[in-house]
Amino acid sequence: MNNSSLNLIVLFGATGDLAQRKIILALFTLFQGGGLGNKSKIIAFSRRPWSDADYRQFIRPSIKTSRDEKTVEEFLESIEYVEGTFDTPASYERLAQKITDIEKRLESAALVFYHLSIQPEFYELAVNGLGQAGLAKERGEYIPRLLIEKPFGHDEQSAQKLEQVIEQYFSSDAIYRIDHYLGKQGLENLLQKRMTDAAFEASLTKDQVAEIEFQIFESIDIEGRGEFYEKTGALRDVGQNHLLEMFATATMNMPEGSVPAENMQKARAEAIQALHGAGKDVTTGEVVHAQYEGYREEKDVAAESLVETYFSIMTTLTDPRWSGVKIILRGGKALAKRQAQIIYRFKDSQEKTFDIQGTSGFTVPDAYEILLKEALEGNKIHFVSLEEIIASWQFVDRYKEQFKTVPLQFYKKGYNF
């Protein structure tokens, strides 16, 4: 982004849960602080037959926390609505027309950001739609960027295929893969500690650390999303992305120097590749996979479903710095508490815990605010590289196989694992 450019954010899935709860508020906060640049517009793309006014009225409650009515009005005025479905070329033509209209009105070529906040099964359709309508091509001096939510694929093969589809139209530089945990303040705190506290950083080796545990516990159950969860399970839902990015941030070899994005992405990818189970390595970990009682009675869940709503993987690392250190990854739903933590347990019985859900009591920027700001600036430090995605799917694919060799356990809702 430079301040003279027209920044145009096209939000696919503009009526969805994520858009309503997170993205619109993050865009508003950036708008309020000048973070969207001198000239910005938002195009809300979704299938409901709505006018601009309908959408603005619909989304207004998402920014109800602001008392700055004048700015709220200006922000809402900057949003225009395009009705469309992913499978109709006419929808993309309408979108193309809208982009051209806005460029003419504001007398500037647009730097366009397509944010795919839609169900993952539609990613390829939407990317093909954009590409075939010529919407991935540069406009003036600006190359459009694609922001894509997690999950990127549902296994290694599908992730590779999705990448191939995207790269038909968008260069790899223009792809921003989101895992919003990378924008969380709790992970940033850990990174800062590792960069600034030399004694702490020096203690992070096999000589002093006995084990490191990574947890993402949710107290809610699947909340009626049986169809989604049956295809996903806990390991794919939070393991492949959030837990492994927490793991990577906690164990990577810190990149030297000014820490540009590529070095950070490379360091995180190497950390994940060093886990037993990722890459060509054989799985060696101990696993538990379990399901809460009552899951099979949920809507759209198979009567004999073997999908895990909780998992625990205990493994180690091939990296010489950590060899022999126990790594524990645990996550799931309908558990006793909501908690996301990284716990280093040292051989002298000391512990150091990092709370990733952010219970510090300080007001910190939301993860989406951080990520969208970086995407506007062309900075990828908190975005996920293809290498990270592939290594994490290799790990998950192997452990999914290993689950089949171990009996599924059952637990009561609210169980404290």
Ligand X SMILES: NC(=O)c1ccc[n+]([C@@H]2O[C@H](COP(=O)([O-])OP(=O)(O)OC[C@H]3O[C@@H](n4cnc5c(N)ncnc54)[C@H](OP(=O)(O)O)[C@@H]3O)[C@@H](O)[C@H]2O)c1
Question: In which residue are the tokens 């910005």 written?
Answer: 40
Q: Does 239 bind ligand X (CB under 6 A)?
A: no
Integer Cα distance of 240 and 390 in angstroms: 10
Residue 316 corresponds to which tokens in the numbers above? 């180690």
Please report how close the Cβ of residue 203 comes to ligand X at its closest, in angstroms: 33
Q: Does 179 bind ligand X (CB under 6 A)?
A: no
Q: Does 120 bind ligand X (CB under 6 A)?
A: yes
Please report how close the Cβ of residue 85 comes to ligand X at its closest, in angstroms: 4
Can you say how many angstroms the Cα of residue 92 is from the centroid of all Cα atoms in its chain? Answer: 25
Q: In 78-116, where does DSSP find H-type helix?
A: 89-106
Of 84-113, which residues contact ligand X (CB under 6 A)?
85-86
User: In whole angstroms, how far apart are CA 311 and each of 99, 239, 297, 326?
Assistant: 46, 9, 20, 16
Please report how close the Cβ of residue 56 comes to ligand X at its closest, in angstroms: 15
Q: Does 18 bind ligand X (CB under 6 A)?
A: yes
Comparing CB distances to ligand X, the nearer of 103 and 245 is 245
Q: Does 218 bind ligand X (CB under 6 A)?
A: no
Please report how close the Cβ of residue 228 comes to ligand X at its closest, in angstroms: 8
Please report how close the Cβ of residue 146 comes to ligand X at its closest, in angstroms: 13
Draw the binding track, 23-62, toward ligand X (x: CB under 6 A; -: no contact).
-----------------------xxx--------------
Q: Does 119 bind ligand X (CB under 6 A)?
A: yes
Q: Does 124 bind ligand X (CB under 6 A)?
A: no
Question: In which residue are the tokens 């390829």 written?
Answer: 124
- Residue 5 φ then ψ, to 5°: -75, 160
Out of 29, 40, 117, 185, name the contact with ligand X by CB under 6 A: 117
289 contacts 212 by C-beta, under 8 angstroms: no
Q: Does 118 bind ligand X (CB under 6 A)?
A: yes
Q: Does 17 bind ligand X (CB under 6 A)?
A: yes
Give the side-chain half-sphere CA count within 13 A for 150: 24
Comparing CB distances to ligand X, the nearer of 46 and 385 is 46
Residue 45's DSSP bridge partners are 12, 82
Rg (CA), the chain: 22
The interface region with ligand X, picked from 12-20, 102-110, 214-222, 368-376 by CB under 6 A, is 12-20
Q: Which residue is nearest to ligand X (CB)?
A: 16
Please report how close the Cβ of residue 44 comes to ligand X at its closest, in angstroms: 9
Residue 244 corresponds to which tokens in the numbers above? 């492994």
Comparing CB distances to ligand X, the nearer of 152 and 344 is 152
- Residue 11 φ then ψ, to 5°: -100, 105
Comparing CB distances to ligand X, the nearer of 58 and 410 is 58
Out of 41, 98, 145, 150, name the contact with ligand X by CB under 6 A: 150
Integer Cα distance of 291 and 226 in angstroms: 13
Integer Cα distance of 272 and 219 in angstroms: 27
Of the candidates 358, 324, 328, the one whose C-alpha atom is nearest the C-alpha of residue 340 is: 358
Q: Does 171 bind ligand X (CB under 6 A)?
A: no
Q: Does 153 bind ligand X (CB under 6 A)?
A: no
Integer Cα distance of 209 and 315 in angstroms: 14
Q: Which strand ranges, in their side-by-side order, compose the sheet holding 339-346?
A: 351-355, 339-346, 209-217, 326-332, 310-315, 286-292, 409-411
Integer Cα distance of 358 and 361 in angstroms: 8
Out of 16, 279, 294, 365, name the contact with ligand X by CB under 6 A: 16
Q: Does 388 bind ligand X (CB under 6 A)?
A: no
Catalog residues that contact ligand X under the rule CB under 6 A.
13-19, 46-48, 85-86, 117-120, 149-150, 180
